[in-house]
Amino acid sequence: MPPASHEYEDVLENTDVVSNFSKNYDINQTSQSNFDQSDRFEESNMEDYYSFEQVSPDRFEESNIEDYNNFEQVSPEREENVMEFPNEAYADLMELFIKHNLNNKTGNAIIKFFDKHSNLSTSPLPKNIEAGRKLMDIMNVQKLPYSKHCILDYKNKEYFVYYRPIKSCIESLLSNPDIIKNFIYKYQFLQSDGETLYSEQYSENWWKNAEASIRPEAHILSIILYSDATTTDSLGKSSLHPIYISLRNIRTWRRNKEDAKQLLGYLPILSANNEGQTSRFKRLARETFHNSLKFLLDPLFDEDGIDFKINNKNIWFFPRISTVIGDWPEACTFSLIFKSANSNYPCHFCQTHRNDLTSIRKDCIIIRNKENMQEYYNNGSAESIGLEQVYNYFWTIPNIDIYAATVPDRMHHLDLDLFRYQIEYTKELLGKSLEDKMNRRIAIILRHPGLKIFAKGVQSIARLTANGIDFKINNKNIWFFPRISTVIGDWPEACTFSLTFKSANSNYPCHFCQTHRNDLTSIRKDCIIIRNKENMQEYYNNGSAESIGLEQVYNYFWTIPNIDIYAATVPDRMHHLDLGLFRYQIEYTKELLGKSLEDKMNRRIAIILRHPGLKIFAKGVQSIARLTASEFRDLMKVMVFVVDNLLNKDLSEVYVRWNRMYLMSRFERFTESDLENFQIAINEWADLFITLFWDCSSGMKMPKLHSWIYHIVDAIRDFGAINGYTTETYESLHKTYVKIPYRLSNKKDVEMQIMKNIRRRAMILRNQVKETKTPRALTYTAKLFIINFSNITELCNQQKNNPNINETMRKGFKEFQNCLYEYLSELKKSFTEGSLIKIFGSVTLKNGAILRATNKFHDRLWFSNIAVAMNNEELSKYQSDKGICYAQTLLITEVNVPNESPFHLVLVQWYDYRFDQNSDLYDCPLLKLVEWYNFIEIEAIEDIVHMVPRFDETNEYFIAINEWADLFITLFWDCSSGMKMPKLHSWIYHIVDAIRDFGAINRYTTETYESLHKTYVKIPYRLSNKKDVEMQIMKNIRRRAMILRNQVKETKTPRALTYTAKLFIINFSNITKLCNQQKNNPNINETMRKGFKEFQNCLYEYLSELKKSFTEGSLIKIFGSVTLKNGAILRATNKFHDRLWFSNIAVAMNNEELSKYQSDKGICYAQTLLITEVNVPNESPFHLVLVQWYDYRFDQNSDLYDCPLLKLVEWYNFIEIEAIEDIVHMVPRFDETNEYFVNKYLF
């Protein structure tokens, strides 16, 4: 049969194109003039755009495309009103093509395949993909216009801003019904127990002040800006500079989703050629940045407020820029502060000299603001205070202090910076020998869900006026006053916004203040001079901007109302901490340790036990430069245990203080006393950091350190909690809006291609809704054994001596039979004919976590440690961690007795406190494993916990959970040259103020923004032909937006008690045989052998307590994993990705039990040995886990490093899987025997 003819041809095929070049271009009405040559581009991923020619609007008349049987009949005059795809098949094809980033060749192959096999005489599809793309490019889709504007003509080259009108971006956000459900219109004063509460920005100082400046019947529209240049290819040879917008009126949890942010455009990047380092070129780059911002943002401030339609009602808004989110360089760009950390005044918050960054008293800090920065600018002395001699656009915008609004970003400040320094300084302190030992410790850290295992250790470590705008929300015009509240970005981006010098070696590197680089960490806070529009403009006007670290460029933000660009470029946690200060901490640690101790450190890292979600660094920390923010955060969770007893107490203490501080930075809301405590925690960490690593850094002249110390708290007061302005959620946008569209382009006119791609994607997605999925609890996986109850003894005897399984599993089989019978006897149940016992390697808990008891999971064993909440009766019997006891999972089992519901059980060995009294070390319980085994129900597990063995100690474990800055400075003073680190300074002195102004840090971390780079930069770039990249990317994004505009994602709920990795299914009569086989099986892990050893007794004990027994037909299934009620996966398997994984669990004890045990605030811990489902006829299945319990290492509850220190005890029993609160991460205490930390630092 011949291929179908094409009814729907390219609507532009016979169009005469008017070549009317101008400085403004409309991407929505551009195309190649000769479409018939599309075959030439078959090898490229996107169209090759050489020019953008406007289609004259007078050539169009109204029409409905569906009135035509053949697209060739559609005259050019009728193209403007193409609103939808011709048919459903056409739409589905374009959705498939756009969503999966297919190239032309693949798309055309799909069309040919369909035409060949569809048996249709006329094809509903376009003749090729190029035709479909061109149709999408001329479709008139509301709120999806993309354009370009020439902002600079320099050396015969034009530089464009590729953009989407800002009002259109805002209208798109306000047209989303789910966003409007979580949209706030008015300031709310929040209190908790009589204290002011800092959480969302609508309850913070900035909103209160901005709202007081407008008419009472109008509303503030709080605008967040995030920009960050990102590479488009793996070699880093090509870059794009996307800028995104979001609204702080949207509650943080909702705003952190990708659809609550909009791509505003791509800023031009000047070609440096041979003049990249000249002051003239740098000034031109800063001026171009601020001119671009002026062009993009000015439309918001041309009128007396703006009406936006919400729910079909016009609402009057006054737009205000509240926050600028980004890393340190980005904050310097916004505030026009010198970017160099060696600048005399590197902090963009204040005017602290770099020599005083960590030593200044807070009451001596002079905060940067519009007034004092303008004064330096006007006097021409901007550079003397670390300010670029460039006029800052944000000085013109109302209600924004750009120096305060560039809030510290936790990811860049802490994760990637201060913690990195802490790691580096630690390695330096330790020396090579101890560093190797540290790496060995890291490598053997136990697995935990969501925790990365480092198997080799750490080896490498818009002009605004007071007018307002109407926006339509739910078909109602609402008057808004848009105000830029926050500019989110990394440090260089903040410097670009504030027009301060980017170099950390600038004399005034902080974009918040005018602190000299020599005073970055030593200045008193009350001596800090804060940058603001007024003082920076004065320097600019005087021509002395460079004297204060300010670019001699007029800052656009000076013209915008209600924005202080120096405050609004808030510190970004991801760049400040994750990729900044923590990275330094790691580097300085390595330097302190020396080669020998660094190797030891890496060996420790490599043996850290698995935990869900925790990355394992199998070779330690080998290349710090290659670590991501996520990996640095994984290191934070275990480093305190890795450096335990490695060099000295100060080294351990600096990581304890870091974790206290970092955990506080993630608070969703802050009271005034929380902020005071947070500032104390910052100071305590910074003091020790500076002292400890002083010799590792040149006087600690680190702008990020300075801004964190001095400015983050003020940023929270102004802009809310840090979580609201971290770049983490924004950085992910790079993938969507840069990288993917770039790859899809043909690398010519890249921005135009990307904009088209994005528009098409938006068209596809506009009506889609994602469905949420709920994890299913008690889902067993990795089935190990299925035996009849009569074969239990045989199985346990086989496995308890099996050399092929891990000692933990052998221990489980040794205790399995007795613990199982004990469990059943307590229930007054017994095995009957037909009873089956199944043993699994993992099971999903009620919280969605996966409990594991396996010899091999990705080539490493994984026996989860668990937290079990004890009831009130039990609490008096045990030492507990606030009602929680801990245990190690030995075996996961499902026992099926005829006529009974299955028993979902886990055989555990319990931990107890290392000492008689509850013992905490490093703020973590210090535990030991005790010879106490029993089955507990999987449902009783509170959560999986991370146990970290205490290195160089026997049977001591931490439960991994900060007085940081003081200890950091003290400990690492020799690793850094005077701790002149702007990020350290800004974290110590400014983060608490930032929280007061802008709310909790989680609201302005860059983490959720950085992910946008993938969507809006990297993927579109790869799809382009690498010419006119921005144009291709904009087209790509537009198409994607068209596809996605009506799609709704469905959320998935994890299903509890979903067993996986089935190990055994046996009849109850075979329990003895199975246990005998497995308890000596050399091919399974000792933990699993222990489980089989205890399995039978514990199971009968469990059933007897329930007054149940096995009957004919009872089946026992043993699995490697099961899903808990919280969605976590409980594992008890010898091999999960070649490593064993026996989950540790937390079990909440009831009041009766609490008196019997030492508990961690009502929680006891256990290690999973075996996961089992017991099926007894006429009974519901028993979902059980055989566990070995942990007890405190000492008689009293013992915490070390703020974590419980436990030991495994010889106490085994089955508990119901439903009783597990969660999976916890246990870290063996290195160089100690049977000591385990409960890792309390998982966040």
Q: What is the pLDDT of residue 767?
A: 65
Quick check: is 870 in a domain?
A: no
Tokens of 88: 């459903």
pLDDT reading at 1050 higher than 90: no
| Cβ neighbour number for residue 274 with a 10 Å cutoff | 7
Measured CA distances, 761 to 99, 155, 534, 1025 (Å): 7, 36, 43, 18
Q: Name the residue with tokens 């439960």.
A: 959
pLDDT reading at 29 higher than 70: no
Q: Whose CA is closest to 1238, among 1033, 839, 1027, 944?
A: 944
According to DSSP, the residues that pair with 502 across neighbouring strands are none
Quick check: is 63 in a domain?
A: yes
Q: Name the residue with tokens 């609890």.
A: 777
Amino acid identity, position 633: R
Helices (H), 16-123: 88-99, 104-117
CA dihedral sign, ordered 528, 534, 537, 538: negative
Measured CA distances, 1086 to 147, 814, 854, 891, 930 (Å): 65, 10, 10, 11, 15
Range list of β-strands (E), 87-216 = 122-126, 147-154, 157-163, 191-192, 195-198
Tokens of 1232: 């100690």
Share of the chain above pLDDT 70, in %: 88
Q: Regarding beta strands 469-490 and 317-327, do their DSSP bridges make them parallel or antiparallel, or are they unpaired?
A: parallel
State how far the Cα of 582 lies from the Cα of 420, in Å rounded to an integer.
Answer: 3
Are the CB atoms for 169 and 471 separated by under 8 Å?
no
Quick check: is 306 in a domain?
A: no
Quick check: is 46 in a domain?
A: yes
Length of the chain: 1243
Measured CA distances, 11 to 82, 165, 475, 1061 (Å): 10, 27, 33, 55
Higher pLDDT, 35 or 778: 778
Are the CB atoms for 364 and 527 separated by under 8 Å?
yes
Q: Which domain holds residue 1028?
A: 726-773+1003-1055
DSSP state of 1142: E
Q: What is the pLDDT of residue 625?
A: 77
Band of pLDDT at residue 459, cut at 50, 70 and 90: low
Count how many Cα atoms sit within 13 Å of the Cα of residue 792 in the half-sphere of its side chain.
41
State how far the Cα of 573 lies from the Cα of 1002, in Å rounded to an integer.
Answer: 8
Helices (H), 512-644: 533-541, 565-568, 573-576, 581-593, 595-605, 629-642
Q: Name the residue with tokens 């020439």.
A: 150
* pLDDT tens profile 734-764: 888 888 888 888 888 888 888 888 888 888 8
Q: Whose CA is closest to 265, among 725, 733, 726?
A: 733
* pLDDT tens profile 588-599: 999 999 988 999
Band of pLDDT at residue 653, cut at 50, 70 and 90: very high
Q: Lowest-confidence range among 72-86, 326-340, 383-397?
A: 72-86
Are the CB atoms for 366 and 525 separated by under 8 Å?
no
Band of pLDDT at residue 1169, cut at 50, 70 and 90: very high
State how far the Cα of 724 lies from the Cα of 742, in Å rounded to an integer.
Answer: 29
State how far the Cα of 922 lies from the Cα of 929, in Å rounded to an integer.
Answer: 19
* pLDDT tens profile 193-246: 888 888 888 888 888 888 998 989 999 999 999 888 888 876 667 889 999 999
State how far the Cα of 1223 lies from the Cα of 1128, in Å rounded to an integer.
Answer: 7
Share of the chain above pLDDT 90, in %: 18
Are the CB atoms for 1187 and 934 separated by under 8 Å?
yes
* pLDDT tens profile 858-878: 778 888 888 888 777 776 666
b/e per residue, 592-630, with b = 16+ CB within 10 A? bbbbbbbbbbbbbbbbbbbbbbbbbbbbbbbebeebbbb
Q: What is the pLDDT of residue 231?
A: 84
Q: What is the pLDDT of residue 996?
A: 76
Query: Domain ends where: 138, 156, 175?
Result: 138
* pLDDT tens profile 924-942: 888 899 999 989 888 888 8
Question: Phi/psi at 1081 (nearest 5 deg)?
Answer: -70, 115
Higher pLDDT, 356 or 250: 250
Query: Helix, strand or coil for residue 86?
Result: coil
State how far the Cα of 837 lies from the Cα of 434, in Å rounded to an integer.
Answer: 47
Query: Domain ends where: 1035, 1055, 1075?
Result: 1055
Q: What is the pLDDT of residue 708?
A: 86
Quick check: is 1211 in a domain?
A: no
State how far the Cα of 1240 lies from the Cα of 716, in Å rounded to an integer.
Answer: 25
Q: How many domains does the chain have?
A: 2
State how far the Cα of 93 lies from the Cα of 104, in Å rounded to an integer.
Answer: 12
Q: What is the pLDDT of residue 3?
A: 54
Q: Report the alpha-carbon angle 1210-1213-1219, nearest 5.
A: 125
Query: Domain ends where: 1055, 1072, 1092?
Result: 1055
* pLDDT tens profile 679-688: 999 999 999 9
DSSP string, 247-283: ETTB-HHHHTSGGG-EEEEEE-----TT-TTSHHHHH
Tell me the average pLDDT across 325-347.
85
Q: Lowest-confidence range among 117-121, 713-717, 1019-1023?
A: 1019-1023
Q: Name the residue with tokens 């795809």.
A: 85
State how far the Cα of 717 lies from the Cα of 997, in Å rounded to an integer.
Answer: 3
Q: What is the pLDDT of residue 16?
A: 34
CA max distance for the chain: 95
* pLDDT tens profile 95-118: 888 888 888 888 899 999 998 888
pLDDT reading at 55 higher than 60: no
State how far the Cα of 730 lies from the Cα of 230, in Å rounded to an integer.
Answer: 12
Q: Lowest-confidence range among 463-467, 838-842, 914-918, 980-984?
A: 463-467
Pick from 139-153, 268-282, 543-557 the range whose average pLDDT is largest. 543-557
pLDDT reading at 41 higher than 90: no
Tell me the average pLDDT across 1022-1045.
80
| Cβ neighbour number for residue 1022 with a 10 Å cutoff | 24
State how far the Cα of 582 lies from the Cα of 704, in Å rounded to an integer.
Answer: 11
DSSP state of 951: E
Quick check: is 12 in a domain?
A: yes
Q: How much is the mean pLDDT over the chain?
A: 81
Q: What is the pLDDT of residue 50?
A: 31
pLDDT reading at 766 higher than 80: no
pLDDT reading at 291 higher than 90: yes
* pLDDT tens profile 546-564: 888 888 888 888 888 778 8
Amino acid identity, position 183: F
Q: Helix and strand tally (H, E) in the chain?
A: 35, 74
Tokens of 96: 């498939």
| Cβ neighbour number for residue 61 with a 10 Å cutoff | 12
Quick check: is 345 in a domain?
A: no
Are the CB atoms for 892 and 872 separated by under 8 Å?
no
Q: Whose CA is closest to 520, among 511, 533, 510, 530?
A: 510
Quick check: is 131 in a domain?
A: yes
State how far the Cα of 589 lies from the Cα of 568, in Å rounded to an integer.
Answer: 33
Q: What is the pLDDT of residue 891?
A: 92
pLDDT reading at 892 higher than 50: yes
